[in-house]
Structure formats: C-alpha cells, structure tokens
Amino acid sequence: MKSLSDALLYGIADLGYVRSENLESVVEKMMEGGVDVLQLRAKGASEEEIESYARRLIPITESAGVPFILNDHPELVPSVGAQGAHVGQDDFEVSDARWRAGRALAGEVALPLIGKSTHSLAQAKAAIEQGADYIGFGPLFATPTKPGRPAIGVQDIRAVQESVAVPVFCIGGIKLENLEQVLDAGARRVVIVSGILAAADVASYCQQVKSVLLRRSAI
C-alpha cells in the first residue's frame, strides 16, 4: 500500500459527478492515471449504499496499492476494509472518528487513517493537535463541489505547510489551469475533484496533473 507521505494527488470518486454504474470504470482510469489516494464521497446516500459502493471499489484500489478513504462514515471503515475516513469541521472529532474507524481493529499496530477538512491556519493547527493523519486545506477557489462555502485563497498555504508536520492536501477548485499557481503558493499535494471527473480522458488528465506534481516536487 502506498504511503500517505509519498502521496501527491488525492482523487475523489464523488457520486455528485459520477453515475453509480460508471464508478468502477472511472476509478480504474484514476488508478491508471496515477492517483495516490482515493476517497469515496456519496453525500445523501444511505450507509447501505455507501457500503455497497465501497465494496465495488476496494478491489480496484487494493490492486493499485492505493489507500481507500471513506467520506463522513468512519464507522464503515472496518466492515468494508477501507484504510481510513475523512471528516469535516462539523463532523466527528478526530479521536471519535478514529475510535469508530478502528474499533474492530483493536490490537493492530496500524491505526486507520483519519483526515480532517480545514479552512484556516487555526483549524489546521487544531486538527493536528487532535491527531489527524493528514488535512485537507481549502477551498482555495470557489467550487461547485462545496456550494456556498467561501474560497479562502492561496495566501496561507505556505504558512500551513510550515506549521504542520502531516501531509497537507490543498483542495477546492484546483484544476490543471491553476495548478502551477497553487504550487507557487507553497502547495505540495492537491485534491482534484471536478477537474478529473469531468475530463474527457480521466487517465490522461490525471497523468498530466501527476507529471506537474512530480516535476515540482523534484525542484
């Protein structure tokens, strides 16, 4: 399984953009394109539906050696065999999410990964104090994925990178067109949602993004 510390491109299989019947084919293309972490996001779906979606995708991510993360439902991590869960500011505390995600894994050395959404430097620091394994930082730009949430801009990216010791994945309206701007502001890792899922060639789009990220990480 790929290490989170080595991950550069975080992809999200969002049922708001992908039809259920196309889930496997889209995720296979994301794996082909070099996505390093995959999250399943299915807002409004029942736990039974989310578990069903996850069981369809786990074999694909496992074959690629890519960590599989559930959005909002840490309690489903043990039953589907996911590597962790991601929670928002208005969801569980990190410790609560980890307990829910790991309660069936007692005694194992590796804890489930818990990511936390953050929208400011203060929230980023708080998430690390809570024990988050990584954070999402954004939304940098306005995005239809999070309607109504104001963009925070790119000015605090470098400060966040310098203040926390865990992987920081910048998120929110990031696409190939503005990727260099985000990296110039200090980002090292990104989450891309609609840019990937709306691409005519998902694998090629991911490959182009990954190429930029690898080139910039080598500087």
> Is 146 designated active site?
yes
**Spatial CA neighbour of 39 closest among 83, 79, 99:** 83
Given 98, 117, 175, 189, the catalytic residue: 117
Choose among 219, 169, 180, 174: nearest CA to 197: 174
- 113 beta partners: 84
DSSP string across 106-151: TT-SSPPEEEEEESSHHHHHHHHHHT-SEEEE--SS--TTSTTPPP
Catalytic residue among 41, 100, 116, 189: 41
User: What is the secondary structure of 65-110 as a DSSP string?
Assistant: T--EEEES-GGGHHHHT-SEEEE-TTS--HHHHHHHHHGGGTT-SS
Q: Is 100 a catalytic residue?
A: no
Contacts of 192 (CB under 8 A, 6+ apart): 9, 10, 11, 174, 175, 209
Contact between 48 and 179 under an 8 Å Cβ cutoff? The reply is: no
Cβ contact 184:146 at 8 Å = no
- Taking Cα atoms as reference points, which of 116, 42, 122, 26 lies closest to residue 76? 42
Which one is catalytic: 29, 98, 100, 146?
A: 146
User: Which tokens in the block code for residue 128?
Assistant: 């690390």
Q: Is 158 in the active site? A: no
Q: Which residues are catalytic?
A: 41, 117, 146
